[in-house]
Amino acid sequence: MLQKIQETAEYLKSLIKTQPKTGIILGTGLGNLVTQITDKTEIPYETIPNFPVSTVEGHSGKLILGKLGGIDILAMQGRFHYYEGYDMKSVTFPVRVMKAIGIENLLVSNASGGVNPEFEIGDLMIITDHINLFPEHPLRGKNYNELGPRFPDMSEAYTKDFITKAKSIATRNNIKVVEGVYVGTSGPTFETPSEYRYFRTIGGDAVGMSTVPEVIVANHAGMKVFGISIVTDLGVPGKIVEVTHEEVQEIGNRVQPLMTQIMKELVKEI
Ligand code: HPA
């Protein structure tokens, strides 16, 4: 694994002349931020050695190097989901590569189902913490001390300073944000009403099928993390209706520009 990470990092370094400090992972259909990136170099996943290839509809699958609000960044448009069949080492491989090319901060976005009864469809939730309910752990198996410690601390998995900054950016721009705990689960089914109730009971505010593996690996690697979720449907008693992938994307599309604005200003401040 170490050799693969190095090989991929070397390949990417040979293509880029900049040294981005921040990496961004864009969730399901959340490519709007890409329209704001200037001086773009696009690298399709299938051309990157050792990279898994994304398959699901709505995920176009490329790395984008460029500037966001004038700051050098590296963005992943489309991520690798556990439910697609990738193992956790593949799901989190891009984060390892980001670290190996010198990236220090990871910004992640996703779509989720809200289980907090105060939430509304279309809310932007700043992720304050997560609960890992995936059936496989990305750090299971031999630990490579070069990558991080055997027992990583997770007491501040989402950097408080980034949360504070994002909240001020939202206030300044008149963008409504909520905060909460993201429950990560394997999918690909959306939840039954009882499962939504369970996620609320254990302390969740929203549930989704991604993010947690990448954030665990970023923490293992000593990176600082910021996460934001678009609440595309509600798993709240009395408000549960049928959810479709298309609806999730439609709501995501509507709210994305607000998320983009927060990310764009945040990269300048971190
Ligand atoms: N559950 C899980 N993942 C999701 C949901 C949901 O309700 N909405 C968007 N992603």
CATH of the domain at 58: 3.40.50.1580
Range of the domain at 257: 2-269
Which single residue is written with the structure tokens 């170490």?
Answer: 2
**Using a 6 Å cutoff on CB, does residue 32 contact ligand 1?**
no
Total number of domains constituting the chain: 1
> Whose C-alpha lies nearest to ligand 1, atom 6?
113
What confidence score (pLDDT) does residue 57 get? Answer: 53
The answer to whether 202 and 180 are in contact (CB under 8 A) is no
- The residue whose CA is least distant from atom 2 of ligand 1 is 208
> Is the CB of 235 inside a 6 Å radius of any atom of ligand 1?
yes
The residue whose CA has the least distance to atom 10 of ligand 1 is 112
Name the E strands within 139-208: 177-184, 206-208
pLDDT digits (tens), the chain, 270 positions: 899 999 999 999 998 888 999 999 998 677 789 889 999 999 998 889 999 876 655 455 889 999 999 999 999 998 899 998 899 999 999 999 999 999 999 999 999 999 999 999 999 999 999 999 999 999 999 999 999 999 999 999 999 999 999 999 999 999 999 999 999 999 999 999 999 999 999 999 999 999 999 999 999 999 999 999 999 999 988 877 777 888 878 788 889 999 999 999 999 999
Q: Where are the beta strands (DSSP E) in 12-123?
A: 22-26, 37-44, 62-68, 71-77, 105-114
Q: Is 78 in the pocket of ligand 1 (CB under 6 A)?
A: no
Check if the beta carbon of residue 143 is closer than 8 Å to that of residue 90. Answer: no
* Dihedral angle over CA of 260, 265, 267, 269, nearest 10: -160
Q: How far is it, in rounded angstroms, from Cα 50 to Cα 53? A: 9
